[in-house]
Chain A
Amino acid sequence: MWCADWPVVAAHVPLDEPAAVFHANRVIARTPAAAAAGVNAGDRRRMAQRACPTLAVLDHDPHRDGREFEPVVRAVAEMAPRVEVVEPGWLCLAARGPSRYFGGDAALADRMIDVVLDITGVGAAVGVGIAEGRAASCIAARRAARTAAGTMVVAAGEARGFLEPLPVAWLRLLGEATPELVDLFARLGLRSFGALAHLDAGDVLSRFGPEGLHAHRIASAADERPSAAVDPPPEWWCEHVFPEPIEQLETVVFIAKRLADELVARLAAEGRVCTRLVVAVETEHGERSERVWYRDHGLAAMAMVERVRWQLEGWAAQPGGLSGGVALLRFVPDEVRSDDGVQPGLWGGRSRADADAARAVIRLSGIAGDHAVRVPSWSGGRLPGERYRLVPAASADLESPDDRLDRGEGPWPGALSTPSPATVHTEAVPAELFGQGGEPISVSGRGEVSEPPTELVLGSVRHRVAAWAGPWPVEQRWWLPGESRRIARLQVVTEQGAAYLIGIEHQRWSVLARYD
């Protein structure tokens, strides 16, 4: 089951109004109305706003996505025993049993659509695909989401034929292969699944390695489960029984982190990673929540913790959900496979310093609150205060921060050149600027100062101006009436050698940043 553009559905915006969720300044999801206006996933914010000026800009919030998806998972879980969440908006289940119960694959698919639309509201692009193999059914679901009926059933034995004409780029979309490998396939002329499936598996392995073999298995519709996967013995279970039922989410998350670390370390000692994890939570009143979480290249400890948080938040928000404190938390690795090094290696995520820091972050977030412990995330902009946003560290992936820190390409015209100020004020610090005769300095509409500044007043302290440069005007969001800003910036060095970036807006000067 696949719900297109889940982040906007989770944000509860009306789907017939243009809105888009941005991450790292790029569109990751948009409403059908925005799509109709020409906003595409991957667009930069400015391009999207040019295509659709009334576009509402929403922040990316993986927690919201996870939390809002929980009711959907619960509803589907009432129809099928084992529901596994790949990511919010995307889940997989074994259809054989339930479809017999509901009278056929098509009937099951229709019923699932009804159940999901009940929760998300009509208008969300939901698709259900049923086919042999994970990849084939995922592709079927994504294609179904674009159709009116929202379902697609690929009959038994026809999965290979279904995949044959499709381009290999699907592998990247499903997260089953890296963009580099897909590019390589395309360059070698292996453009469709059919072309790839016709090769001999042994040749593929020797030329492209294990990752290539994995792709080959998918292309030949033989991906029931990876060949290297084994059923984990029960001694890999990790659980924690709380002597006193715990009601604070943070405390449970803290324990979850410990369990996850323990599990990951135990698996790593045998050179394995967990690709499918069952998280079971029980309350003092005997209520139970069990979820299966899947990630194709293995769940790192932080990823496990993140999923526990989604599960609990979603459960707590559910009417008639969680009624008491948590009494038991259990991790059952359902599928593990040998660690083929897809995970970040020694430097990427597993040094002791990284593990220590991640633990301290959880602890600090518990003490000080999520919003007091933050990590930088690139958002782009012309003013020093808006180029990096600070996001809660507890919900950020500390092990692979590339998404968050990737600055994309292209310059920001109008942003100041290096060096950047070492202190950036988040609240306006008022300042005054005077010229030779004691007249306040203003900046004309053409971007010129009324006279050379000679004195900068901060609080009650007067500083002689030794050097200055600018003004550099910047217009922000002039297309949004309520949010437009017009600021002229000036660099000022005082006689003591202190340098400031000051700005004038509505005829008032303030210190934007300090080069200290």
Chain B
Amino acid sequence: MSSLATTAGAVTTLADMVPRHDRVLPVDEALASLFPAAGLQRGHVIGCSGSAATSLALAVVARAATAGAWVAAVGMPTLGVEAAAEAGVPLARLVLVDIDESQPAASWAERVGAAADGFEIILTRPPHGAERMLRKVQQRLQARGVVLVAVSDAANDVASRQGRLACDVELATFTVEWLGIGTGHGGLVGRRVSVTSNGRRSPRPLRAELWLPGPEGRPGRVG
């Protein structure tokens, strides 16, 4: 399975000739086991939650972006650009789109819709009320074959102002340990995260232990 995912990354140019719907976007092989299709199925909504949600979302899109897909980060003005680069997202294909704070849900839907016309991947932190708007844009996402990756805050934070979307694949993260940091010495070096994937179409949860990132700075699989 892992060799399949590697090849998928290398042949995107040829894949451009195949109708969009027949395709999945490639995903890093360390993450492939979390997805029933071993990649990001076009038109799907993928949710990331938990204490490493943003890092996981970046790792999820990195391979496809490297292969040529553009990434729009809608409503994520606080996205760490440097962390995106370290996760492997080429900054040349990353565009950040703000939403209008006075009418978050409506402007979110409008901008996600417009981004769907030109971007193959949309990263987003859905604002409160976005769940009611999703239906409006979902048709567009599916027609265009866009993958929407929604990041929601860690559960114990200010969850009230966030929207929760109905996802095709839900990835929940749980930080197992941080490497390199002690009490008063060292510094953050790497993080071991356990990820659980629940899919509408997968009968039971899929699990993986990941480095987000590993001691060498890149996301990877533990063991």
Contacts and interface: CB of A to CB of B under 8 A. Distances in A.
A376 interface: yes
B190 interface: yes
Interface string B151-168: 001101110000000000
Contacts of B58: 422
B142 interface: no
Tell me the interface secondary structure of chain B in the complex.
Answer: mixed
B78 to A, nearest CB: 5
Interface string A378-400: 00000010011010010000100
Contacts of A420: 80, 82-83, 86
Contacts of B177: 497
Interface string A481-516: 000000000010100111100000000000001011
Contact of A516 (B68, B97, B154): B154
Contact of B183 (A354, A356, A467): A467
A401 interface: yes
Nearest to B70: A357
A376 B93 CA distance: 10
A384 to B, nearest CB: 7
Contacts of B55: 419, 422, 515-516
B196 interface: no
Interface in A286-342: none
Contacts of B190: 419
B188 A375 contact: no
B61 interface: no
Interface string B5-16: 000000001001
Contacts of B52: 516
Given A357-B93, A375-B95, A468 B80 contact: no
Contacts of B77: 426
Contacts of B181: 467-469, 491, 493, 499
A153 interface: no
Interface stretch (A74-82, A104-112, A271-279, A364-372): A364-372
Interface string A438-482: 000000000001001000001101000001111000000000000
Contact of A374 (B95, B183, B191): B95
A351 B82 contact: no
A363 interface: yes
- Interface centre among B51, B77, B78, B96, by most chain A C-beta atoms within 10 angstroms, is B78
B119 interface: yes
A373 interface: yes
B114 A423 contact: no
**Interface of A: prevailing SS:** mixed
Contacts of B117: 356, 359-360, 363
Contacts of A468: 181, 183-184
B175 interface: yes
B118 A493 contact: no
Interface residues of A, number: 59
Contacts of B115: 360, 364
B81 A357 contact: no
B111 interface: yes
Nearest to A465: B183
A375 B70 CA distance: 12
A405 interface: yes
A503 B111 CA distance: 34
Contacts of B92: 398, 401, 405
Nearest to A461: B156
A459 B161 CA distance: 14
Interface residues of B, number: 63
A417 interface: yes
B83 A372 contact: no
Contacts of B183: 452, 467-468
Given A376-B81, A424-B79, A491 B70 contact: no
A469 B96 contact: no
A359 B118 contact: yes
Contacts of B94: 375-376
A361 B95 contact: yes
B217 interface: yes
B134 interface: no
A401 B70 CA distance: 14
B138 interface: no
A353 B120 contact: yes
A133 interface: no
B124 interface: no
Contacts of A384: 80, 82
Contacts of B119: 356-357, 360
Nearest to A374: B96
Interface string B48-73: 00011111001000000000111010
Nearest to B118: A360
Nearest to A363: B114
Contacts of A368: 97-100, 107, 111
Given A498-B51, A499-B191, 11 more contacts: A354-B68, A360-B114, A367-B110, A367-B114, A373-B97, A375-B94, A387-B81, A388-B81, A393-B95, A424-B79, A496-B156
Task: Please provide the 8 A-B residue pairs with the shortest distance between their CB atoms, ordered closest to farther.
Answer: A360-B118, A497-B175, A422-B54, A357-B70, A420-B82, A388-B81, A372-B98, A356-B118
27 contacts: A351-B13, A353-B120, A356-B70, A357-B95, A361-B118, A363-B114, A363-B118, A368-B97, A372-B98, A375-B91, A376-B96, A387-B82, A401-B92, A419-B83, A420-B80, A422-B79, A422-B83, A422-B84, A424-B79, A426-B78, A452-B184, A467-B181, A491-B187, A491-B188, A497-B175, A516-B55, A516-B154
Interface of A: 346-347, 351-354, 356-361, 363-364, 367-368, 371-376, 384, 387-388, 390, 393, 398, 401, 405, 416-426, 449, 452, 458-459, 461, 467-470, 491, 493, 496-499, 513, 515-516
